[in-house]
Amino acid sequence: MNFTFEKQTIECIKKLVAENTTVAITTHYNSDGDAIGSSTALAEVLRQMGKTVKILLPNDYPQFFKWMHGVDDILTLDRHPKPIRKYINEMDLLICLDINDLSRTEDLQPLFEQAGKKSIVVDHHINLQINADAAVSFPEASSTCELLYHVLVACGYEKYINKHVAESLYTGIMTDTGRLDYSSNYSEVYNVMGKLVGMGVNKMFIHDKINNVYSYDRFRLQSKIMKDNFVYLPEYHAGYMMITNQDKKDFHFQLGDSEGFVNMPLCMKDLKFVALFTEYEKGPVKVSLRSKGKFPASSFATEFFNGGGHFNAAGGKHFGTLTEAIEVFKNGLEKYKDKLEK
């Protein structure tokens, strides 16, 4: 894969960075490893360049990312509403990472739109909807972290990629590809991973910090979901799981506890598509979708759940009850049945 960018875009990014001193970095609600990784990596680069930088998030992020360099300076709207509003008024430049639509920042969206500041986007999702002053959108990339690495090099910022930056970028690539199980069938992603390890990244340390940190309650929740809350629909080569509000109470659910659940049924040889529905007392039902082969999870998410994402890994929301969300899913399976049978 050839990561070649338009010269005009790279020059515009460099100009915006050079001319502005107070920078805000943002990413999507319920930030994952790619979102936190790309945000902390770029924040560290910009701080080395003498910029004032804050990462602004709509809500908190999972505990297993707390070890990453720079996370202590993150402001979240649910915990720091006044400092966030103050910083948005003061910022010169907004950089959006790992989002194709500003709506994915939830309640931060109107604050950013009202501020009307200069902006940059670096993202690897399809259908970019953000009207930025400079945008790099590359859906073929494994992750925003991999894409950001190439953007940093193209801008001449490679000298700022220290061990902290490398750890953040590695984390994003590793998590967004399912430990290189998907979205990584090309050599360049391995070249980048090799370069990052060469900068001092301790691969075993990062994997341990992210994958071996769950509680006993989370293990029990996982067992319960697979035993009682998974429904197999063999006629569609599909299935779905659910996490109810009662499950959350019973197993002391914490943000990030459901990480990886949606991928587990994909080990079944006859299953091509799976959904995980997570209920919330306030707000819509969260929907996570995963598929194998040529089934378009992203199209399904867009058509039925106000969402989108990658071809085989996508998500969305249903503004209704859990039961209604599952019914929408089943109706969608009937519409997409010909694609699931192939």
* 2 pLDDT tier (thresholds 50, 70, 90): confident
As given in the structure block, the two tokens for residue 141 are: 């990339």
Domain shared by 150 and 234, yes or no: no
Residue 189 has pLDDT above 80, yes or no: yes
Say how many domains are in the chain: 2
Q: Is residue 1 part of a domain?
A: no
- Rounded CA-CA distance 239/120 in Å is 39
pLDDT at 179 over 90: no
d(CA 195, CA 212): 25
C-beta of residue 41 within 8 angstroms of C-beta of residue 93: no
pLDDT band (50, 70, 90) for residue 127? confident
Whether residue 37 lies inside any domain: the answer is yes
Same domain, yes or no, for 114 and 56?
yes
Domain boundary pick from 178, 211, 244: 211
pTM tops 0.95, yes or no = no
> What pLDDT is attached to residue 178?
87
Based on the fold, state whether residues 85 and 182 are members of the same structural domain: yes
Do 20 and 129 fall within a single domain? yes
122 and 240 assigned to the same domain: no
Pick from 194, 186, 140, 136: nearest CA to 170:
194
Sorted by sequence, the CB contacts under 8 Å of residue 4 that are 6+ apart come out as none
> CA distances (Å), 78 to each of 57, 58, 305, in order?
9, 7, 25
Same domain, 122 and 87: yes
The yes-or-no verdict on residue 342 having pLDDT over 80 is no
Residue 239 has pLDDT above 90, yes or no: yes
Expressed as residue numbers, the domain containing 316 is 217-341
Can you give the pLDDT at residue 308? 84
Residue with tokens 């940190």: 213
Report the pLDDT averaged over residues 204-223.
95
pLDDT of residue 1: 79
Confidence of residue 126 (pLDDT cuts 50, 70, 90): confident
Do the Cβ atoms of 233 and 221 come closer than 8 Å? no
Position 2 in a domain: no
Pairing of strands 22-26, 52-57: parallel
pLDDT class of 333 with cuts at 50, 70, 90: very high
On the question of pLDDT at 87 being above 80, the answer is: yes
User: How far apart (Å, rounded) are the C-alpha atoms in residues 287 and 333?
Assistant: 15
Closest by CA to 56, choosing from 36, 74, 38, is 74
Q: Taking residues 333-339, report their average pLDDT.
A: 96
Under the banding of pLDDT at 50, 70 and 90, the label for residue 26 is: very high
Residue 223: predicted pLDDT: 97
Q: 162, 194, 211: which is the final residue of a domain? A: 211
Residue 84 in tokens: 């966030």
